[in-house]
Amino acid sequence: MKSRLVRTLLAGLACLCAFLAPVRGESVLVLDWNILTYNNPGSPEYEALVRIVQALNPKVILFQEANNASGRAAFMATFSTQYPYSFLGAPYSENPRNQILSAYPITLNGQIFTADPWGGSFERPTIWADLDVLPARPGPELRVYSAHYKSGTDSRDNTLRLNQATDDANHITAFLTANPEGRVYYAGDLNCEVGSAPITTLLQAQTTLTRQVMLDPNNGSPMTRWPSGRTIDHAFYSATLAGKLLNPFIFHTNTFPPGTVPPPALANDSHTASDHLALLVTIDIYSLPADLNQDGDVDDLDYESFASCMTAPGVTATGGCVKADLDYDTDVDQADFGLLQRCFSGRNIPADPACAQ
Q: How high does pLDDT run on average in the chain?
A: 89
The pTM of this model reads: 0.80
**How much is the pLDDT for 25?**
58
Residues 194 and 328 in one domain: no
Question: Which residues, in sequence order, are bridge partners of residue 185?
Answer: 144, 237
Mark which of 269, 285, 301 sits at the end of a domain: 285
Mark which of 250, 267, 285 sits at the end of a domain: 285
Residues 182 and 330 in one domain: no
Question: Which residues, in sequence order, are bridge partners of residue 276?
Answer: 225
Mark which of 266, 285, 304 sits at the end of a domain: 285
**How much is the pLDDT for 23?**
34
Q: How far apart are CA 323 and CA 138, in angstroms?
A: 7
Does 348 fall in a domain? no
pLDDT at 19 > cutoff 50: no
How many domains is the chain built from? 2
Residues 233 and 321 in one domain: no
Does 350 fall in a domain? no
Residues 17 and 35 in one domain: no
Place 92 in a pLDDT band, splitting at 50, 70 and 90.
Answer: confident
pLDDT at 264 > cutoff 60: yes
Phi-psi region of 236 (alpha: psi -120 to 50; beta: other; left: phi over 0): beta
Nearest-10 crossing angle of helices 4-13, 334-343: 40
pLDDT at 81 > cutoff 90: yes
Residues 79 and 190 in one domain: yes
pLDDT at 277 > cutoff 90: yes
Identify the CATH number of the domain in which residue 183 sits: 3.60.10.10
Residue 69 vs residues 74, 127, 139: alpha-carbon distances, Å: 9, 19, 33
**How much is the pLDDT for 357?**
67
Q: What is the DSSP letter of 241?
A: G
- The more confident residue out of 167 and 296 is 167
What residues contact 24, with CB distance under 8 A and at least 6 apart? 284, 286
Residues 339 and 245 in one domain: no
Residues 202 and 315 in one domain: no
Place 24 in a pLDDT band, splitting at 50, 70 and 90.
Answer: very low
What residues contact 343, with CB distance under 8 A and at least 6 apart? 288, 289, 290, 291, 298, 326, 351, 352, 355, 356
Does 142 fall in a domain? yes
Place 355 in a pLDDT band, splitting at 50, 70 and 90.
Answer: confident
Residues 238 and 294 in one domain: no
Place 227 in a pLDDT band, splitting at 50, 70 and 90.
Answer: confident
Task: Give the lowest-confidence range in 19-33, 83-97, 126-140, 258-272.
Answer: 19-33
Residues 272 and 307 in one domain: no
Place 330 in a pLDDT band, splitting at 50, 70 and 90.
Answer: confident
- 42-61: average pLDDT: 98
Q: Which of 353, 349, 351 is nearest to 287 (CA)?
A: 353
Place 287 in a pLDDT band, splitting at 50, 70 and 90.
Answer: low
pLDDT at 17 > cutoff 90: no
User: Which residue range forms the structural domain that includes residue 299?
Assistant: 4-22+289-343
Does 88 fall in a domain? yes
Residues 112 and 182 in one domain: yes
pLDDT at 252 > cutoff 90: yes
Residues 56 and 123 in one domain: yes
Place 231 in a pLDDT band, splitting at 50, 70 and 90.
Answer: confident
pLDDT at 83 > cutoff 60: yes
Does 84 fall in a domain? yes
- The more confident residue out of 227 and 48 is 48
Identify the CATH number of the domain in which residue 308 sits: 1.10.1330
Helical segments of 92-206, H only: 155-178, 197-202
Residues 182 and 326 in one domain: no
pLDDT more than 70, % of the chain: 92
